[in-house]
Structure 1
Amino acid sequence: MTVFVCSACGLSITGPLTELTEMPTRPRDQGYPKADGSRRATATMPLGFFALEPEPWGAPLVPTDECRAVFPGGPCVADPDGDGFLMSAGPRNTVVLHPDDARGLREDSDVFRHCSGCCGLHGEAGMNQQCPCGAHVGTLINDCNTAYELHLDPNQVRLITD
């Protein structure tokens, strides 16, 4: 079992998790209304598990000519400063987990860092989750046109295994 802790203060930010050997296929139900009225996708990760995202994920975003997902689990995003689109140049091997497996994290109150879409957080503005000590540790995405998952930045957390 693995527990993730904040690199800045050492506080546990997850309970015990089991690693999956590869990323699960992301559900295709983004944006479709559910019986409870929400439009959130089904969570990518089952509770109690995590996987490493091998592709670049999250901010910074850089220009590209092709329309493709800005990062795995995200939408195609037009470049507001050009004629093309944006893609992630963020870190590889972000730790992907079910958002409910995080403990004590809070949303960044800086409006520029936790910009949201129409139904939730889209993750394009950078890390939007903070440890109680104030350190940014990850990015939650839960908008209607994104996957539903939490990414812990591998540079901001440490893992402890037993």
Structure 2
Amino acid sequence: MDGRVANIPRGPITGEFVTFKDAKGRTLFTVDVGFSSYDYGWPVRRTVVESGAVPGLSQAGWTPPYQFAFYAEEPLSGPGTDTVCTLALVREVPPDGPGMLRGLPTGEPTTVPSSWTGPFLGVELSQVIEKCGDVAAARAWWASQEGQQFKAVLLSLRAS
């Protein structure tokens, strides 16, 4: 995997992005600092496949510390019928069960508590990879060599 950093202005904010590509140049995923392109959601049934600490980010002293979460979300309504896989850096792992796409809770979005410190960090899987078919396929992909490489990259992140 190859990752390159880019600074891209988004209005008054400059977001930093690192896009990881394979040897063939296929985009695998992007790590974002200060920006997310996810701005939509619909009702889903969520299954968290795995979550855990990111040691290099935990050492930054941000509260609460970042964790990774990989989950599959089956649409209950909305424009799509396929399960969407999401790999995320989160402060709180979203619960299994009903919710909104991308780990959001049901109902109105909540604001970030003022006690939280540190930057916004995000991960976005490529559109090809995020369309994982169903929960069983999501579990199989996460257990695959490629899925475990993605996990290894997230676990290697360090705050500086």
For normalisation by structure 1, the TM-score amounts to: 0.29
* Higher percent of residues as helix: 2
For normalisation by structure 2, the TM-score amounts to: 0.30
